[in-house]
Structure 1
Amino acid sequence: MRIPWQKSDSEGGSTAIELPKEPAGPKGSAKKNAGASRESAGPRAQGDAPLPKGYTPPKGRPTPKRHEQEIKRGVVRDPNALTPAQQAQRNKELKKSMSPQEWKDYKKRQREQRREATREAQARMDAGDERYMLDRDKGEVRAFVRDWVDSRRFINNWVMPAALVILVLTFAVSYATPQVANAISLISLAFMITIIAEALIIGRGANRAVTQKFPGSGETGFALGMYAFSRATQPRRWRTPKPRVAAGKKVN
């Protein structure tokens, strides 16, 4: 279709704009060449340019499941050492062969066994068995930091009960006189400043102690300071693993 003001070829040439054409070649060759260039550029970019912070190279294998990792460490929660999928299949088969009352009794025994296994795992974790401990708690450096914190008394040891008391007082005096409400606010602010200042002291002290005890360990820094601070904010009875040293005892 020709636009009225557009000249035809016979009237003096065409005003159409010619776009640059791709080089001739087999059908689909341009896409293949682009894909090949991206694939070839990937390894060179990784080898020549520095990798970004936090880069994790592909493992080439699926991530191992928690059940498999626990069995490798010697932790067997199920006496039959069945995976969750195998246990589900077994329950499905047993349910078909049982009466409703037998199935109910069987599920009750299963719940009791799981609770007993959980209590056993918690007891092992409290005792310091590294097979049952979290990764953040493993190692002699973290054990030393726990002993270092447990042997000292901090204001942060009372942060949870103090926060609860301040919260209750805040709601209790919400309708009280402004003077009382202002006093509670000032006390809360002073307590928060004290907690933050002592957190810095705990972090620096724990890092200094680890540097002296384990020179060149490489585990010092912000993460270790936060680990010591989080341990200090927990009431002594709630800490896991349980404290091994008494408060006031010197830890070297």
Structure 2
Amino acid sequence: MPSLFRRKSADLVDEAVTPVTPDEESESARPRGYTPAKGRETPKRPAAGRRPAGATKPLTKEEARERRRQQRAESAAEFRREGGPRDRGPERLLARNVVDSRRTVGTWFFGGALIVLIGSNAAMPPAIRLASNLLWGALAVGLVIDSVLISRKIKKLVRDRFPHTDQRMGSLYFYAIMRAITFRKLRTPEPRVKIGDPI
């Protein structure tokens, strides 16, 4: 009696040689990493999501140097315009505007210090040495008074406009005073207000 569970070898051979049509095998049923049988066309990879082809021509030394110089110039211009991390925040902007809207003694401090250095030389006559020492004292007193006035104005404006600020006032005063003793054309970020503008 033949076995019910045994298939004929001829049926197995027929199944092995019967070709599978594309309609019978869907794309979704294929496992990942599927490789089609020999003689069939390899499916194309989708173009979406690919990286765009880069420049095939390498840069010469002169071109690379020029590109680096241009990038440095752009970075310097952006820093001059926007400043760095220490210049961020509305309180810092307010302090800068307070300083930039007025003439400060600090802008003349370094020029006066150079005059004092030359005038206090031992080779100079006593009258010039005395005058340079008086000038030095006047600059120091003027710088202190100007710094106090700037700090008081910043304190008042910050309390009025930013009552819930977490900015440390001492740090803000020092930031403004350091800006006040810098020449206007060298200040970073560059001034956004003119001298005499209301703040």
CA shift for structure 1 position 220: 4.1
Q: CA deviation at 1:165?
A: 2.6
SS for the counterpart of 1:244 is coil
Matched, 1:216 2:170: no
What's the offset of the Cα at 1:196? 2.1
Pair 1:159-2:116 in alignment: no
For 1:181, the equivalent position in structure 2 comes to 129
CA distance in 2, matches of 1:177, 1:166: 13
Corresponding residue for 2:71? 117
- The amino acid of 1:199's aligned partner reads S
Higher Rg: 2
Structure 1 residues 111, 168: closer, same or farther in 2, change over 3 A? farther
Q: 1:222 to 1:115 in 2, by over 3 A?
A: same
Percent sequence identity over aligned pairs: 29
Please list every run of at least 4 consecutive aligned residues from structure 1 whose deviation after the TM superposition is greater than 4 angstroms. Answer: none
Number of aligned residue pairs? 143
Q: What one-letter code is carried by the residue in structure 1 that aligns with 2:164?
A: G
CA deviation profile, 1:105-162 (whole Å, cap 9, x unmatched): 61x443332222121112122222xxxx321101122112111211112212222222
Q: Which residue of 2 aligns with 1:170?
A: 120
Shift, 1:214, TM fit: 1.0
RMSD of aligned residue pairs (Cα, Å): 2.3
State TM-score, norm by structure 2: 0.64
Q: Deviations over 1:43-92 (max 9, x none)?
A: xxxxxxxxxxxxxxxxxxxxxxxxxxxxxxxxxxxxx9xxxxxxxxxxxx
Give the alignment's TM-score, normalised by structure 1. Answer: 0.51
Between the aligned partners of 1:153 and 1:182, the Cα distance in structure 2 is 27
Q: What is the SS of the residue equivalent to 2:108?
A: helix
* Cα drift, residue 188 of structure 1: 1.0
Structure 1 unaligned regions, length at least 5: 1-79, 81-93, 95-101
Contact 1:203 1:222 in 2 (8 A): no
Greater RCO (CA < 8 Å, at least 6 residues apart)? 2
| Maintained 8 Å contact 1:203/1:225 | yes
